């Protein structure tokens, strides 16, 4: 079998792969993306963070998104709302500590990802839809991939560098035995798109994602991500025992999942009220055990981008932002490799990328152990602290100037303690 040659091979045309390709093409490099699906294709993860706007702009991808906002009913987004029983709270991302955009969009990922991929093609990337990577050889200086095309024919392609942006496909982690267990418990998400029927509800703000904590089990939470056309992405996340308690039988048919989802929702009076006119009209799906990690994110001739590396948890909508950040960090290093330089991938890619991921991780852990929920729902929050938290919720997890960036976990605990005491004092004063 003859081996095709190119400069960079990328596996996957999601946000990580498309943005890496766009950046590389604008620097004049030859890029082939092998993508096993045809776009537009469904992907979960519709709520972007303002930090992602910086990376989209840098990759020359922001204009195309902006131009299609109306066509695809992308929803302007400026923050996050939270609901727990009768408690309500929100963060406005425009009021934040870090510099940079404070707004973004909630997007149907099928359209959004397709726009990015089409723009990467417009820059000259060769995207091979319907082609699946079957095997990889990274023992040669220049990696060789075995790919099966749509006709079922196999071919090989060799690049000077390989970027794995295969998301939950996790091609290199699986083929090279790089998987390392996530330290999060296994969680399941059940989700769909709905006709939300939300009209003129004074407490509901379409310009914010709504995160609702399950009233009886604070480990479980719902997302409601409105689009601009009266529809929303709607999902619930919890550990398996929560779903078992509601009678989950292992039947993952759309009908069984919809019945389960509606049964759980009945226990949530405030959210049920918001969605009292909603219509479930799209098959309900489920994903389980999506949190993942790897032993290392790069070697001399390959690097893992986005979800192919580490995926934490959906609660703070960090996935696309991390995917775009990974491309932004990796591409200048790939260029140095192409120029014959030796790159210290650990120092210049893995450490800086993981630094921000660790901050998100601290927030996710603190959310599930209840500390961050107590911060969010505290009626007593200093303005400066709110702005620092707002920055992180807006995705600015790499801003080392943010005082709560360093030792994020410990600092969150301290803030939570302060908020709990302040709330208790307020209650005592009211009585």
What part of residues 40-99 is at the interface with ligand FAD (CB under 6 A)? 43-48
The least CB distance from residue 413 to ligand FAD, in Å, is: 26
Our CB check for ligand FAD shows the closer of 62 and 422 to be 62
Residue 14 or 356: the one with the smaller Cβ distance to ligand FAD is 14
Q: Is 78 helix (H, G, I), strand (E, B) or coil?
A: coil
Q: Nearest distance from residue 342's CB to ligand FAD, in Å?
A: 27
When binding is defined by CB under 6 A, the residue of 8, 9, 10, 14 that contacts ligand FAD is 14
In this complex, which beta carbon is closest to ligand FAD, that of residue 239 or of residue 422? 239
Does 12 engage in binding with ligand FAD (CB under 6 A)?
yes
Q: Pattern of binders to ligand FAD over 245-284, x per CB under 6 A?
A: ----------------------------------------
31 vs 165, beta carbon nearer ligand FAD: 165
Instruction: Decide: is 224 part of the binding site for ligand FAD (CB under 6 A).
Output: no
Which of 10, 11, 23, 54 forms a contact with ligand FAD (CB under 6 A)? 11
> Which positions from 97 through 136 interact with ligand FAD, judged by CB under 6 A?
132-133
Q: How far is the CB of 370 from ligand FAD (least distance, A)?
A: 21
Distance CA 178, CA 175 (A): 8
DSSP for 26-43? HTT--EEEEESS-SS---
**Whole-number Å distance between alpha carbons of 306 and 45:** 13
Listed in sequence order, the residues at least 6 apart from 166 whose beta carbon sits closer than 8 Å to its beta carbon are 11, 12, 17, 133, 172, 308
Which of residues 237 and 415 has its CB atom nearest to ligand FAD in the complex?
237
Phi/psi-derived region of residue 163, left when phi > 0, alpha when psi is between -120 and 50, beta in every other case: beta
* Interatomic CA distance for residues 326 and 311, integer angstroms: 12
Q: Cα–Cα distance between 192 and 262 in angstroms, integer? A: 12
Which CB, 258 or 413, lies closer to ligand FAD? 258
In the complex with ligand FAD, which residue's Cβ is closer, 36 or 405?
36
CB of 164 to ligand FAD, least distance (A): 9
Over the window 200 to 219, marking each residue x when it contacts ligand FAD by CB under 6 A and - when it does not, the resulting string is --------------------
The pair of structure tokens assigned to 313 is: 């948890």
3-state secondary structure 259-278: HHHHHHHCCCHHHHHHCCCC
Tokens of 114: 């397709």
CA 153 to chain centre: 34
Nearest of 166, 278, 306 to residue 222 by alpha carbon: 278
| Min separation Cβ 397 and ligand FAD, Å | 13
190 binds ligand FAD (CB under 6 A): no
Instruction: From 163, 158, 135, 137, select the one nearest 147 (Cα to Cα).
Output: 135
For residue 106, list its beta bridge partners. Answer: 47, 75
The verdict on 35 binding ligand FAD (CB under 6 A) reads yes
Contact status: 169 vs ligand FAD (CB under 6 A): yes
Listed residue (143, 165, 212, 216) closest to 33, CA to CA: 165
Residue from 235, 163, 250, 134 nearest 194 by CA: 235
Under a CB-based contact definition with an 8 Å cutoff, are residues 144 and 137 in contact?
Answer: yes
Q: Does 164 bind ligand FAD (CB under 6 A)?
A: no
Q: What stretch of H or E contains 334?
A: helix 319-338
Window 288-327: residues binding ligand FAD (CB under 6 A): 290, 306-308, 314, 317, 319-321, 323
Q: Check binding of 13 to ligand FAD (CB under 6 A).
A: yes
In the bound state with ligand FAD, the residue whose beta carbon lies nearer, of 209 and 416, is 209
């Amino acid at each position: 079998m003859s081996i095709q040659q190119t400069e960079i091979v990328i596996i996957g045309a999601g946000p990580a792969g498309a943005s890496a390709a766009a950046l590389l093409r604008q620097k004049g490099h030859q890029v082939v993306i092998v993508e096993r699906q045809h776009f537009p294709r469904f992907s979960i993860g519709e709520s972007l963070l303002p930090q992602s706007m910086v990376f989209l702009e840098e990759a020359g991808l922001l204009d195309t998104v902006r131009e299609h906002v109306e066509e695809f009913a992308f929803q302007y987004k400026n923050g996050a709302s939270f609901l727990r029983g009768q408690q309500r709270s929100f963060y406005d991302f425009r009021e934040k500590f870090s510099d940079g955009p404070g707004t973004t969009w909630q997007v149907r990922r099928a359209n959004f990802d397709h726009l990015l991929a089409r723009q990467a093609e417009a820059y000259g990337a060769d995207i091979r839809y319907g082609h699946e990577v079957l095997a990889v050889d990274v023992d040669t200086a220049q990696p060789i991939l075995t790919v099966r095309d749509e006709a079922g024919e196999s071919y090989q392609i060799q690049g000077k560098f390989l970027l794995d942006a295969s998301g939950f496909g996790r091609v290199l982690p699986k083929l090279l035995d790089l998987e390392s267990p996530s330290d999060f418990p296994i969680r399941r998400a059940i989700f769909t798109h709905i006709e939300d029927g939300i009209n003129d509800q004074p407490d509901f703000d379409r310009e914010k994602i709504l995160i609702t904590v399950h009233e009886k089990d604070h480990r479980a939470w719902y997302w409601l991500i409105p689009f601009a056309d009266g529809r929303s992405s709607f999902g619930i996340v919890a550990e398996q025992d929560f779903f078992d308690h509601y009678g989950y039988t292992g039947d993952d048919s759309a009908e069984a999942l919809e019945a389960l989802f509606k049964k759980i929702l009945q226990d949530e009076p405030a959210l049920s009220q918001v969605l009292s006119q909603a219509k479930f009209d799209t098959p309900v799906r489920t994903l389980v055990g999506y949190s993942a990690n790897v032993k290392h994110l790069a070697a001399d001739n390959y690097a893992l981008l986005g979800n192919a590396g580490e995926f934490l948890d959906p609660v703070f909508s960090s996935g696309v932002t991390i995917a775009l950040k990974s491309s932004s960090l990796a591409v200048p290093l790939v260029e140095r490799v192409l120029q014959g330089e030796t790159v210290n991938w650990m120092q210049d890619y893995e450490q800086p990328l993981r630094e921000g991921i660790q901050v998100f991780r601290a927030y996710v852990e603190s959310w599930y152990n209840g500390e961050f929920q107590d911060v969010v729902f505290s009626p007593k929050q200093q303005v400066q602290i709110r702005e620092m938290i707002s920055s992180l919720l807006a995705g600015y997890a790499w801003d080392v100037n943010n005082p709560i960036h360093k030792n994020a976990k410990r600092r969150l605990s301290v803030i939570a303690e302060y908020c709990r005491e302040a709330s208790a004092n307020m209650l005592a004063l009211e009585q």
